Amino acid sequence: MDLPSHALWTYVLEKAVAPEFIKTHRPFLFFSLLFAAFPDLITDAPYFIAILCSKNKLGLKSLKEVLNFAYDLNHNRSLEYEALFPWSARLGFFSHSFGVYFFIAIILNFACPLLFWPFVIGYGSHLLIDVPLHRGYFSSQPFYPFSQLTIPGWKDWYHIRNFQKYNYLLLAVCFIILITINHGL
């Protein structure tokens, strides 16, 4: 799923389950949404910067070409992606590992308890949403780097025809329902 959708679905979940809590605990909301985007953000930002810095070597002339190349390489040419940017692929497996997630959660529980629940909910929702929506090269590897065990999803979200359209339509419906029920966001 795309990065903004992870944050938006986490918001829908939190607002549906605990609307009063979310209304009165803005830092919790901020950090949970940040953590919902974090697994993709820590992989995609350096990956994009690396392509931007190598654009001449890759024969890319404009920002649009860089964006198209980054998307195409990541979503359609996984072997070439791993060959050109192996560190990015590994970083993605680390950031989407339930083992790493639990390890960070334990550290936060002791080092910064205020961030523990926002992390558990935000980051956790990201990982759970990704399980059915990633197949093949990007299948969930819950115990990476300790195990290469993968959980193949139903299909890669970016290969499902009109997925983004239906995803954002469903998000809009959820937001309308939340606005109606809660008299505002």
Q: What percent of the chain has pLDDT over 90?
A: 78
Does residue 53 fall inside a structural domain? Answer: yes
Does residue 185 fall inside a structural domain? Answer: no
Does residue 60 fall inside a structural domain? Answer: yes
Where in the sequence is the domain holding 93, given as residue range(s)?
3-180
Does residue 105 fall inside a structural domain? Answer: yes
C-alpha–C-alpha distance, residues 35 and 7, integer Å: 8
- Asked if the model's pLDDT at residue 172 lies above 80, the reply is yes
Residue with tokens 């002339």: 61
Q: What is the pLDDT of residue 182?
A: 75
Does residue 25 fall inside a structural domain? Answer: yes
Q: What is the pLDDT of residue 78?
A: 87
Contacts of 135 (CB under 8 A, 6+ apart): 152, 153, 154, 155, 156
- Asked if the model's pLDDT at residue 39 lies above 90, the reply is yes
- Asked if the model's pLDDT at residue 136 lies above 90, the reply is no
- Asked if the model's pLDDT at residue 183 lies above 70, the reply is no
Most confident of 53-57, 74-78, 157-161: 53-57
Total domains in the chain come to 1
Q: What is the pLDDT of residue 74?
A: 87
